[in-house]
Amino acid sequence: MTTADPASRYRNVIAAAAVIALLAGLLGARILARTAPASRSTPAAPAASIPEPLPLPAGGLEVPCWGCQEAKEWRVEFRTDLDLLAPLGDGPANAAVWFQDFSKGSGPAGAPTSIQDFGTADGPRLAELMTAREARIEGPEWLGKVFPPDHPLLLEAEPWCDQAVMEFYPDIYPLEGYSTRIPNLLFTLDLARSWVGRGMQADESDEALADFRRTIRLGRLLRQEGVTVIADLVGLACIRIGSEGVYRYAAGSGDLELALTAAIVLGEHSSQRLMTMERVTRGMVTDFVHLDTDGRPTLVLSDERLESRIISMATTEPERRFRGEALISLAVVRILGTPEQQARAVEVLGELAGSDDDWVTAELARWCLDFEPTDEFMEEITRSL
């Protein structure tokens, strides 16, 4: 039996326990550093004012002919001035700061699927939102489920839709090409339907119109950045929902001038959806990816189509979200095309990556040049064929 000093044994035991505590603390700190900040408090939305809608032009409104030949060259946006219905607010904050807290993660169920996925975890308030969605009530038939009129999330979201700007990229979500994150668009649809549902039930027309216009402003904010097609389409949907609220309410209350304005805006909705799809069709390559005899994806794309459709869209399309779709297609060509097509894709991507014209396009082009397909990516392409 040893006869060591009891004091030294005490120090040895404490030192051993300290080693465990230190390593456990380091591990905890690493995990916390990778997870979303659960206790981050979002600042309150700064005060903002909303201008009054513009009066109708003296000569009346022109009805855009989206079916005419010249429409092929139009930007896919409303030709009717939406300030006639719902001007944007002048709030100085970035509305995306509030919406980022409701982000969905990258796993199949929106939650981290492994210990190494903590970096793409859900926003800190996603759980709160999912609980709130369970409490939705039935709204008007054409709207579906809506939040109760006095739900805290509705009230909290209102001042954020009075801001002048909503920008997610690159400060909130980095541009990562194929894997670029998008905001929780389902939440924006919930807000749109809920505000319009509340407006339809309002006793005062000012309250009703305020809700409809807020919905339209939310849609305009979603379309403002123009980085992804899906956010643009959801913004378009929000504008449609808000405009339909204005139309129904105005027609029911006898305000024919307002109803007419809303009807013309509504008429542009479907056209823009179809023109969006035309642009996307022009720049896509998925129809030309097939499985070869060995079961591997291969691209069968003519050089003429590559030049006249995809490269033309990537380099000359005025709207960045459609350029982005074409750039993703060029990334596929870079991987699966013929050697000549791969070289041509690399050449075009290199030019765009070095261009100062649009930082989004340049960033995306750089991603497309560096992108190396993972097994997961190739499996996803193969599964889709």
Partner 1 sequence: MTSDRDRLLDALKPPQPPPELRDRSLRAATDVLRRSPVPDRWTRIWESRPLRLAWAAAVAGLLVANTLIPTTPRPAPATAQGFSLHHLSQAAEDEIRAIATMPRLDLNARSLSGVVSAAAARTGAEETQSPNQKENA
Rg (C-alpha) for the chain, rounded Å, is 26
User: Are 353 and 362 contacting, i.e. CB atoms less than 8 angstroms apart?
Assistant: yes
Binding of partner 1 by 229 (CB under 8 A): yes
Binding of partner 1 by 74 (CB under 8 A): no
78: Cα separation from own chain's centroid: 19
Instruction: Give 49 or 316: the residue with its C-beta nearer to partner 1.
Output: 316
Residues 196-215 that bind partner 1 (CB under 8 A): none
Binding of partner 1 by 58 (CB under 8 A): no
Q: What is the total count of residues that contact partner 1 (CB under 8 A)?
A: 76
Question: For partner 1, which residue of 233, 313, 368, 369 counts as binding (CB under 8 A)?
Answer: 233
Q: Which residue has tokens 């139009």?
A: 74
Taking the C-alpha atoms of residue 208 and residue 245, their distance in angstroms, rounded to an integer, is: 9
Stretch that binds partner 1, among 91-99, 150-158, 176-184, 195-203 (CB under 8 A): 176-184
Binding of partner 1 by 221 (CB under 8 A): no
Residue type, 285: V
96: Cα separation from own chain's centroid: 10
Question: For partner 1, which residue of 1, 55, 204, 339 counts as binding (CB under 8 A)?
Answer: 1
- Rounded to a whole number of angstroms, the minimum distance from the CB of residue 274 to partner 1 is 6
Instruction: Give 104 or 125: the residue with its C-beta nearer to partner 1.
Output: 104
- Rounded to a whole number of angstroms, the minimum distance from the CB of residue 58 to partner 1 is 29
Element (H, E) at 146: strand 145-146
Binding of partner 1 by 38 (CB under 8 A): no
Strand stretches in 116-162, DSSP E: 137-138, 145-146
Binding of partner 1 by 180 (CB under 8 A): yes
Binding of partner 1 by 240 (CB under 8 A): yes
Residues 323-352 that bind partner 1 (CB under 8 A): 324-325, 328
Stretch that binds partner 1, among 16-24, 46-54, 73-81, 150-158 (CB under 8 A): 16-24
Omega before residue 183 within 30° of 0, cis = no
Dihedral in degrees, nearest 10, Cα atoms 152, 154, 156, 158: -160
94: Cα separation from own chain's centroid: 15
- Rounded to a whole number of angstroms, the minimum distance from the CB of residue 343 to partner 1 is 23
Half-sphere exposure of 89 (CA within 13 A, CB side): 28
User: Are 348 and 255 contacting, i.e. CB atoms less than 8 angstroms apart?
Assistant: no
Residues 79-108 that bind partner 1 (CB under 8 A): 104, 106-108
Question: For partner 1, which residue of 281, 302, 355, 382 counts as binding (CB under 8 A)?
Answer: 281
Structure token digits, residue 191: 């807000």
Taking the C-alpha atoms of residue 24 and residue 33, their distance in angstroms, rounded to an integer, is: 14
Residue type, 187: F
- Rounded to a whole number of angstroms, the minimum distance from the CB of residue 29 to partner 1 is 8
Residues 125-164 that bind partner 1 (CB under 8 A): none
Stretch that binds partner 1, among 53-61, 78-86, 245-253, 268-276 (CB under 8 A): 268-276
Taking the C-alpha atoms of residue 300 and residue 336, their distance in angstroms, rounded to an integer, is: 9
Instruction: Give 45 or 236: the residue with its C-beta nearer to partner 1.
Output: 236
